[in-house]
Amino acid sequence: MPPRKVLVAVAWPYASGPRHIGHVAGFGVPSDIFGRYHRLKGDDVLMVSGTDEHGTPVMVAADKEGRSPRETADDYSRLIREDLRDLGIAYDLFTRTTTPNHYRVTQDLFRTLHEKGYIVEDTMMGAFSPDGRTLPDRYIEGTCPICGYEAARGDQCDNCGNQLDPTDLINPRSRIDGSTPEFRETKHLFLDLPAFAERLAEWIKGQRHWRTNVRNFSLSFVRDLKPRAVTRDLDWGVTIPVPGYAEDPNKRIYVWFDAVIGYLSAAIEWATVVGRPDAWREWWQNADANHVYFMGKDNIVFHTVIWPSILLGYEEGGEYGAGKGKLELPDNVVASEFLTMESQKASASRGVGILVRDFLSRYEPDALRYFLTAAGPEQQDTDFTWAEFARRNNDELVATWGNLVNRTLTSAYRNFRVVPEQGELTANDRALLEAVAGGFDLVGEHIEAARFKAALGEAMQLARRVNVYVNDQAPWALLESDRERAATVLYSCLRCVNDLKTMFTPFMPFSSQKLHELLGHDGYIAGPLEFRDVEDDGDEHVVLTGDYDSWVGSWEPSELPPGQALREPEPLFRKLDPAKVEEEELKRMGLQDPQPA
Ligand SMILES: [Zn+2]
């Protein structure tokens, strides 16, 4: 069988500010675990995303900073790209929505849907400030009509996650100067979502493997679909390829419409970058391909309703579809819940949160990846606390996995310098080796079902089991009396460590690579990512990518040749001082007086 094509489609972070760890908990780390696992399995992974640079979030930030939206987007796109590289999120292509390629693809889909009658003209109430300027949705704040949250935005309520129109808000006011906006009728183009309602409902009902939150929320959403405006009164965004609109300097495609198209446009860009311009079709026009999307729960309907409607409407039309097959719908839509921080809502737009950049300047990326997987918001809203971060780092990561690696490697290195020779195995040795080898199936099943916490828990459980074996066998005590048996025990331990290294790679790639080298192996099981310059139609931009084809390692028990020279051991993880971490970090967050628990 040829390798399966797996599209890992990761939510596009807004280039409107630095990202905090809640963002990467929701989309970055889970998608990377999934992608790295499938790469190790030998599947053909295409993992794409980029920064979302249009619309009012970027304009609001640019206004505040006194610069152009383009300058703001350039700056934060670079920053986010660096965050994701340093966190080891192994994209095939992490690009931007301001590229000529993205404009071409977005306009092709828009034009095609318009020609097919799925995008139609209507009027809506547009908001204007008292001086006559149009007031974009996100510049308007008011009370959410659904949950009563007082600081809902004109496009979405951050509290209940529902999409809104500015006219829905109770007591609307301008975020610029607090004035009350005036609503006037303006002409816009609308995506005819009701035309897709039946097909969507049927399709979603069939997706029994989706997480319950995603399936239920989407089903209730399609029961009451209305046409949605896909254009806005803005001068920052993709221009509208429809007569009467193309010429208007103050109208643009609505940012959510172009952002979801990024999954397709980034795949097309990747194919061009690797010099096989049609290669994206192997994922997008292939019914056997597996398409899995990752995002926070506030973006579910974009991926289960709006993007699928665009795909259903486009079919195999347009310049890109080119009669070569329908575009694939999502196979799974994995949405994380929210991560709060020290009991506060993590939202960059509200200025509360722990920035990825800051975090990585003081702690190891794998410590963060471990915590976000073991204790992150996979199935329920979760609160990040520094105390719990330090505790899990010390009591779980260091005490279990770090300690197992350290004591077995150190003992083997000191006494043998090489992977010891394996003598005759006892039933107990064999049972251990088999249990660990069986982990590949157990951990793999959980990852494929997007149960990352359970997957990591399974691997940790095996590490604990090997620790128990080490305690029982105490190989260092045998070195004098029975060196051959000591060698066999240490060999069994290192075999297990070598297998667990592979199992931990999707979760903690940096430490697994280090361990790979300490065990005497060469090459990358998880290598560095890289930036690459891309030229497109006179425009230049930088993408995050990597040379994953050259990486070694596969998702199965692997050889550890006796006699292979070991490298001098060093600890995989750093132990933290919990009291110091908590005190310093709460001070940094401006929370010097922690609330008593
Ligand atoms: Zn609400």
CA distance 426 to 444: 28
Ligand 1 centroid vs 410 CA: distance in angstroms? 55
Cα-to-centroid distance, 382 and ligand 1 (Å) = 19
Distance 165 CA to ligand 1 centre (A): 12
Tell me which amino acid residue 74 is. Answer: D
DSSP state of 91: -
**How remote is the CA of residue 144 from the centroid of ligand 1, in Å?**
5
Query: For 523-548, what is the mean pLDDT?
Result: 96
CA of 120 to the centre of ligand 1 (A): 29
38 alpha carbon – ligand 1 mean position (Å): 37
CB burial of residue 313 (10 Å; 0-12, 13-18, 19+)? buried
CB atoms within 10 A of CB 326: 15
169 CA distance to ligand 1 middle (Å): 10
Residue 278 Cα distances to 1, 325, 393, 460, 576, angstroms: 22, 13, 45, 42, 49
Distance 258 CA to ligand 1 centre (A): 24
Using the predicted structure, report yes or no on whether residue 460 has a pLDDT greater than 70.
yes
Helix axes 29-41, 365-375, angle to 10 degrees: 100
- pLDDT greater at residue 233 or residue 458: 458
Which residue pairs, CB below 8 angstroms and at least 24 apart, start in 437-440?
437/499, 437/557, 439/499, 439/500, 439/503, 440/499, 440/502, 440/503, 440/555, 440/556, 440/557
CA of 282 from ligand 1 middle (Å) equals 40
Q: DSSP assignment, residue 173?
A: E
**Do 16 and 226 form a contact (C-beta atoms < 8 A)?**
no
Residue 151 has pLDDT above 80, yes or no: yes
Q: What is the pTM of this model?
A: 0.93
Mean pLDDT within 54-59: 87
For 360-389, the pLDDT digits (tens) are 999 999 999 999 999 999 989 999 999 999
Closest listed residue to residue 263, CA positions, set 89, 85, 7, 35: 7
How many angstroms separate the alpha carbon of residue 34 from the centre of ligand 1? 32
Cα 481 to ligand 1 centroid, rounded to whole Å:
71
* CA 141–ligand 1 middle distance (angstroms): 12
The neighbouring-strand residues paired with 20 are 355
Query: Does residue 355 sit in helix, strand or coil?
Result: strand
Q: Alpha-carbon distance 553 to 519, whole Å?
A: 13
Q: Tell me the average pLDDT across 239-253.
A: 94
Cα of 51 vs centre of ligand 1, distance in Å, is 26
How far apart CA 19 and CA 359 sit, in angstroms, is: 11
- Whether the per-residue pLDDT at 162 is higher than 90: the answer is no
pLDDT at 597: 44
What spacing in Å lies between the alpha carbon of 126 and ligand 1's midpoint?
Answer: 21
SS3 content of the chain, % helix, strand, coil (to 5): 50, 15, 35
Q: How far is the CA of 345 from the centre of ligand 1 (A)?
A: 14
553, 525 contact by CB (below 8 A): yes
Expressed in angstroms and rounded, the spacing between residue 121 Cα and the centre of ligand 1 is: 28
How many beta carbons lie within 10 A of that of residue 89, not counting itself? 27
The rounded Å distance from CA 485 to ligand 1 centre is: 65
pLDDT band at 347 (very low <50, low <70, confident <90, very high): very low
Q: Is the pLDDT assigned to residue 419 strictly greater than 70?
A: yes
* Ligand 1 centroid, distance to 161 Cα (angstroms): 6
The pLDDT value recorded for residue 348 is 44
Q: How confident is the model at residue 135 (pLDDT cuts 50, 70, 90)?
A: confident
25/338 Cα distance (integer angstroms): 9
450 Cα: distance to centroid of ligand 1 (angstroms): 28
Give the integer Cα–Cα distance in Å for 189 and 185: 13
Per-residue pLDDT at 349? 46
Reported as type and span, the H/E element at residue 545 is: strand 539-545
Structure tokens at 363: 């702690």
CA of 251 to the centre of ligand 1 (A): 28
Q: For residue 220, what pLDDT is reported?
A: 94
Report the pLDDT value the prediction gives residue 160, as an integer from 0 to 100.
86
- Where does 155-306 have alpha helices with state H? 197-205, 212-222, 255-273, 281-284, 300-301
Tokens of 276: 């096989």
Q: How far is the CA of 97 from the centre of ligand 1 (A)?
A: 28
* Residue 593 confidence class, pLDDT cut points 50, 70, 90: low
Distance in Å, CA 150 to ligand 1 centroid: 8
Distance 151 CA to ligand 1 centre (A): 9
**Domains in the chain, ordered, with CATH?**
5-135+181-336 (3.40.50.620), 366-528+553-579 (1.10.730.10)
Q: How far apart are CA 413 and CA 422, in angstroms?
A: 15
Q: 156: CA distance to ligand 1 center in Å?
A: 8
In this structure, the strands spanning 228-229 and 290-296 are unpaired
Q: What is the pLDDT of residues 267-280, one digit of tens each?
A: 999 999 999 999 99
pLDDT of res. 260? 97
451 CA to middle of ligand 1, Å? 28
* Lowest mean pLDDT across 70-74, 95-99, 142-146, 233-237: 233-237
Residue 153 Cα to ligand 1 middle (Å): 9
- Residue 445 CA to ligand 1 center (angstroms) comes to 36
Using the mean position of ligand 1's atoms as its centre, give its distance from the Cα of residue 162 in Å: 6
C-alpha of residue 72 to centroid of ligand 1, in Å: 29
Q: How far, in Å, is the centroid of ligand 1 from the Cα of 155?
A: 11
Cα(221) to centroid(ligand 1), Å: 15
Residues 24 and 1: their CA atoms lie apart, in Å, by: 34
For the chain, the average pLDDT equals 94
Say how many Å lie between the CA of residue 170 and the centre of ligand 1: 11
How far is the centre of ligand 1, averaged over its atoms, from the C-alpha of 147 (Å)? Answer: 4
Average pLDDT of span 104-121: 98
The count of other CB atoms within 10 Å of the CB of residue 415 is 15
